[in-house]
Amino acid sequence: MSAGITRPVTSAESVGWRIDDIGPDEMILSMGPQHPSTHGVLRIELITDGELVREARPHIGYLHRCFEKHCENVDYPGVIPYTDRLDYVASMGNSLGYALAVEKLLAIEPSPYVQTIRVIMAELQRIASHCVAVGTYGMDLGAFTPFLHLLRDREKILDVFEWTCGARLLYNYNWIGGLSHDVPDGFVRACREIVAEFDKVTWPELVNLLIGNRIFIERTAKVGVVSRELAISYDLTGPNLRGSGVAYDLRKAEPYCGYENYEFAVPVGEGRHGPLGSCFDRNWVRVVEMKESARIISQALDRLEKLEKTDVREKVPKRAKPAKGEVFARSEAPRGNLGYYVVADGTAVNPYRVKVKSPCFTAMSAFHHVARGVMIADIIALIGSFDVVLGEIDR
């Protein structure tokens, strides 16, 4: 080729594939970024051989909002509304993790009353988040009715959140050292009604309509198998790790907010309908976790009624200015271990650095490995089984 003349860039090379990577009978299929089953603005590029996927490459960044850079320009309490917008389906867990990190940096320990309310809210959020995850997963595969049933229960939880703090999606509820609002009168009774109905009505309906459905089992039980070794090597956490048979939960391994005082099981995948670590197992873990969260809430409500009521803002600092230092704290969010690394330079009321470790990001890092060899239609089942939220991935 003569100097100054360049050959046209092929469509394969424009997305990162080399032309030699594409076989004569293969093609590139782009799935997303606007797609009803990508659970956010995600683009997946597939090299396909007929209906089989030979390679898969996720493209992220469509929701990037410079969260970590914004944190350097607001004070410590001002970061909390930004944390709500990471995993926008489970905002209570996001702000809790950040509050725990800064409290560790400031050597503040909230009262048992505040910690018990935090546990109740975190587990209500876990149920609400899993209602969305399991319900939309069933809808991805063609089952619409379970989605409606689970959204019905989620609405009741959101009503309680709105009643408590005035918001239904982005709460700004967990403050450094405390909470934005105390629980209202009648809160305990309302939560008990939600838990009782979930145990007696929703959970049996879910198992009957979706989890035990033969079509659903056939679509998920032998698809997207993640071995124990692969899950650990890619640092999967939460239900994605436990679905591969690893019984690791931060609420047990590194308790916070008094979780050591509650009795609950850590559900793991059992491989009951196929290989261990399949899409079915990851979804099954979320289903059982909802029942365990209801169990924790019942114990926490009993505990709350016995505790002396304290001011939920009594330990909230008027001006958060930590001494120079750094801290890493993590919590068991609905989608896995959510970690916050916070650096203070000791001279400003703004954080010097805030870094977030996203469980959804690590899950997507393993996607290309698990997607090889599956059918194109099963890519939908695989994405849904990882239960990713792109706001947390892109942050």
Write out the DSSP string of 65-76: --HHHHGGGS-T
Helices (H), 107-248: 112-140, 145-165, 187-197, 203-206, 214-220, 228-233, 239-242
Pick the more confident residue, 188 or 5: 188
Q: In percent, how much of the chain has pLDDT > 70?
A: 94
Strand partners of residue 340: 329, 356
How many whole angstroms separate alpha carbon 346 and alpha carbon 337? 28
pLDDT band for position 62 (50/70/90)?
confident
Of the listed ranges 24-38, 80-94, 132-146, the least confidently predicted one is: 24-38
Q: pTM for this structure?
A: 0.91
Pairwise CA distance, residues 147 & 144, whole Å: 6
Q: How confident is the model at residue 61 (pLDDT cuts 50, 70, 90)?
A: confident
The per-residue pLDDT for range 262-287, each reduced to its tens digit, is 999 999 999 888 899 999 999 999 99
> Other C-beta atoms within 10 Å of 321: how many?
14
Distance CA 17, CA 354 (A): 34
| Residues contacting residue 209 through CB under 8 Å, at least 6 positions apart | 143, 145, 146, 149
Judged against a pLDDT cut of 50, whether residue 10 lies above it is answered with no
Strand pairing of 325-333 and 178-179? unpaired
- What are the pLDDT digits (tens) for 324-381? 999 999 999 999 999 999 999 888 789 999 999 999 999 999 999 999 989 988 998 9
Furthest C-alpha separation in the chain? 84
**Which amino acid, one-letter code, is at 35?**
H
pLDDT for 175 equals 95
Cis peptide before 33 (omega within 30 of 0): yes
pLDDT at 33 over 50: yes
* Residue 64: partners with Cβ closer than 8 Å, 6 or more residues away: 394, 395
* pLDDT higher than 80, residue 100: yes
Question: Please, which pLDDT band fits residue 19 given cuts at 50, 70 and 90?
Answer: low
pLDDT digits 0-9 by tens, 285-330: 999 999 999 999 999 999 999 998 999 999 988 888 888 999 999 9
Residue 12: pLDDT band by 50, 70, 90 thresholds? very low
3-state secondary structure of 347: coil
- Position 9 scores a pLDDT of 38
The mean predicted confidence, pLDDT, of the chain is 89
CB 176 within 8 A of CB 110: no
Tell me the DSSP string of 6-48.
-PPPPHHHHTT--GGGS-TT-EEEEE-SS-TTSSSS-EEEEEE
Question: How much is the pLDDT for 249?
Answer: 94
Residues contacting residue 61 through CB under 8 Å, at least 6 positions apart: 394
**Band of pLDDT at residue 17, cut at 50, 70 and 90:** low
Say what the pLDDT of residue 20 is: 66
Can you give the pLDDT at residue 16? 59
Q: What is the DSSP letter of 208?
A: I
